[in-house]
């Protein structure tokens, strides 16, 4: 109290010192935050953090470890378990407790081939890898089946986009030229006319069977991708979105991405401090709900991007007060979510890493970019950058912001 009284007297006696005093306090807070891996790009953000009442966070890599491992596949009507973790390529596939010999299930080989073809990551001989963790997990699962990138020649690529939710490549491999596609199962399946049978040949497709399997994987907190392909003639050299038709569905791969232990603690700390944690992810609703439960985020209801797009602004304002998980969202949905919370009087922190996340980061009261996985555009649009891409770092920064506030 004596200190506060002295400061009050100084400010009263010399009012022009107030801006310098406030700047000094915020600068000290920003320095402390930087030591805890939260880099403040705009000084007033240090104060705004202290007033944060809602944190809207991505799931993968922020709330979770972002260390993917394929643990189950669904191919030719069978669910197979995959052993091994991390970058260990010595695991195997098994069904009904019986280990499958390499090459004993041709449909599995084709599924793994598509995962390798539709992939920009690279495994190293030392046991690590370079690239997206999801794609690294697909390379590891393929290696367990004896399949590598050797002999693969790529011609064209349609990169993954959060709005289309798929990636496609035109490749030539072992004398075959084909289009390989990976993405959200519910997006790919409508484009498929057939699916692989156990012998690896196209046959009748049961879309509901694959969708049911995807939901089972999702309820186990597995991130699930679908894989499809179409054979083309040797003269085919272009790849357009219109080419992704009459596909053959090869199967599903489900991978685990465990929650960060520090994120579980941070979510509990937020709850105790009166701050809501909201998960905003592009993953399947069941996956998001399962991971939210592990993190301690109440998720009785999940709103999807399609449902959100159908809501008007008033409906969304009412929904955000009771919903803590948004799944299958596009970047433009994140901006609307932030605006809805702000319209309800909340101070919103929003995370993002992609180029398309920039509008949402600008919309939020505190835009938070990923320092490791984030793009330069996202970092430029943000008020704060996480040096370790960890949700717990956001909570630490809010703690320091409250001290400055």
Burial of 303 (0-12, 13-18, 19+ CB in 10 A): buried
How many CB atoms lie under 10 A from the CB of residue 103?
A: 10
Residue count of the chain, please give it. Answer: 405
Query: By three-state DSSP, how is residue 52 classified?
Result: coil
Query: Would strands 325-327 and 276-280 be described as parallel, antiparallel, or unpaired?
Result: parallel
Residue 352's closest CA among 2, 60, 74, 151? 60
Which member of 58, 365, 383, 389 is catalytic?
58
Q: Three-state SS across 340-365?
A: HHHHCCCCEEEEECCHHHHHHHHHCC
Pull the structure tokens for residue 141.
């699962």
Whether residue 58 lies in the annotated active site: yes
Q: How far is residue 74 from each of residues 32, 35, 100, 363, measured CA to CA in Å?
A: 49, 46, 14, 41
User: Please, which residues bridge with residue 384 across strands?
Assistant: 40, 368
Active-site positions read: 58
């Amino acid at each position: 109290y004596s200190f506060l009284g002295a400061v009050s007297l100084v400010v009263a006696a010399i009012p022009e010192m107030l801006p310098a005093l406030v700047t000094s306090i915020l600068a000290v807070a920003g320095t402390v935050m930087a030591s805890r891996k939260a880099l403040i790009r705009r000084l007033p953000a240090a104060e705004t953090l202290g007033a944060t009442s809602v944190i809207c966070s991505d799931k993968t890599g922020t709330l979770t470890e972002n260390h993917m491992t394929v643990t189950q596949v669904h191919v030719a009507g069978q669910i197979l378990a995959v052993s091994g973790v991390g970058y260990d390529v010595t695991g195997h596939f098994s069904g009904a407790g019986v280990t499958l010999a390499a090459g004993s299930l041709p449909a599995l080989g084709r599924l793994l081939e598509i995962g390798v073809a539709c992939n920009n990551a690279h495994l190293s001989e030392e046991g690590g890898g370079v690239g997206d963790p999801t794609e690294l997990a697909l390379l590891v699962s393929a290696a367990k089946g004896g399949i590598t990138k050797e002999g693969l020649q790529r011609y064209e690529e349609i990169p993954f986009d959060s709005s289309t939710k798929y990636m496609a490549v035109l490749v030539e491999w072992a004398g075959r030229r084909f289009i390989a596609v990976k993405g959200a199962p519910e997006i790919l399946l409508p484009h498929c006319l057939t699916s692989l049978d156990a012998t690896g040949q196209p046959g009748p497709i049961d879309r509901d069977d694959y969708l049911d399997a995807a939901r089972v994987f999702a309820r186990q907190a597995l991130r699930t991708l679908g894989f499809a392909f179409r054979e083309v003639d040797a003269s085919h050299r272009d790849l357009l979105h219109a080419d992704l038709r009459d596909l053959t569905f090869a199967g599903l791969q489900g991978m685990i991405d465990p929650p960060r232990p520090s994120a579980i603690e941070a979510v509990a700390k937020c709850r105790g401090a009166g701050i809501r944690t909201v998960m905003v992810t592009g993953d399947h609703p069941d996956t998001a709900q399962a991971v939210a439960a592990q993190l301690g985020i109440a998720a009785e209801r999940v709103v999807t991007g399609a449902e959100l797009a159908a809501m008007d602004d008033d409906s969304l304002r009412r929904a955000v007060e009771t919903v803590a998980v948004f799944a299958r969202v596009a970047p433009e949905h994140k901006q609307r979510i932030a605006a809805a919370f702000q319209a309800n009087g909340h101070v919103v922190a929003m995370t993002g890493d992609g180029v398309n996340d920039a509008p949402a980061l600008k919309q939020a009261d505190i835009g938070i970019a990923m320092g490791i996985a984030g793009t330069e555009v996202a970092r430029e649009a943000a008020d704060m950058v996480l040096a370790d891409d960890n949700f717990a770092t956001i909570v630490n920064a809010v703690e320091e912001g409250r001290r400055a506030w």
